[in-house]
Amino acid sequence: MSDEEGIFREAIPCYIFGCKWPKTGNRVIIPYEISRYFTKREKRTIEKALRDIRFGGRTPCIHFVRKTRWDRDYLFFLSSNSCQSHIGYFGGGQIIDLDRNGCVRKDVVQHEVLHALGFHHEQVRYDRNHYVTIKYENIQPGKERNFQIANTNNLITPYDYDSVMHYDA
């Protein structure tokens, strides 16, 4: 998966900087805007990916809505030459870079959006050594920190090899 994190915050637990998206009642409403440089078809792919991120089953607690001019904090999908996202809430127009060559796919869009919601890669969970073996000799030089264990909150979920947040073998 082509994916690089621009700014790393793995080691910093969210509660220090408040990197959770704010709640409205018991829901989190996340406005988004999609760059006009994406085609209609690409926009549909992005919106479908957002719709299919469902937490809470029939009563989803996270809602993605189109940005209005009153929204100050929102996700902005930028047509870019990389695929990356900050980890957690930053405030303002928070950019998700999507390369039109390869990243405008449901799984990649969901991967980057989940970073923006505060999720790390599955293989950096604090308990990952029970589930995967990292072959450091195979890591491209300079990419080592993509494999550093993070102080994650695993939300009582089992390790998920099939997660969109998991690098492939």
Catalytic residues: 112
Comparison of 67 and 84: residue with beta carbon closer to Zn ion = 84
Strand partners, 29: 63
**Cβ closer to Zn ion: 28 or 114?**
114
In whole angstroms, the minimum distance from the beta carbon of 13 to Zn ion comes to 18
Site for Zn ion in 1-20 (CB under 5 A): 3
Helical pair 106-116 and 40-51, crossing angle rounded to 10 deg: 60
Residue with Cβ nearer Zn ion (3 or 73): 3
Torsion angle, alpha carbons of 47, 60, 72, 98, to 10: -30
From edge to edge, which strands make up the β-sheet containing 84-85? 62-66, 28-34, 74-80, 93-99, 84-85
- Binding residues with Zn ion: total (CB under 5 A): 1
Q: Which residues from 48-107 bind Zn ion, rule CB under 5 A?
A: none
Least separation in angstroms between residue 131's CB and Zn ion is: 18
For the CB of residue 135, give the shortest distance to Zn ion in the complex, in Å: 19
Provide the token pair at 58. Answer: 């029939």
Closest listed residue to residue 48, CA positions, set 77, 71, 87, 27: 77
Residues that bind Zn ion (CB under 5 A): 3
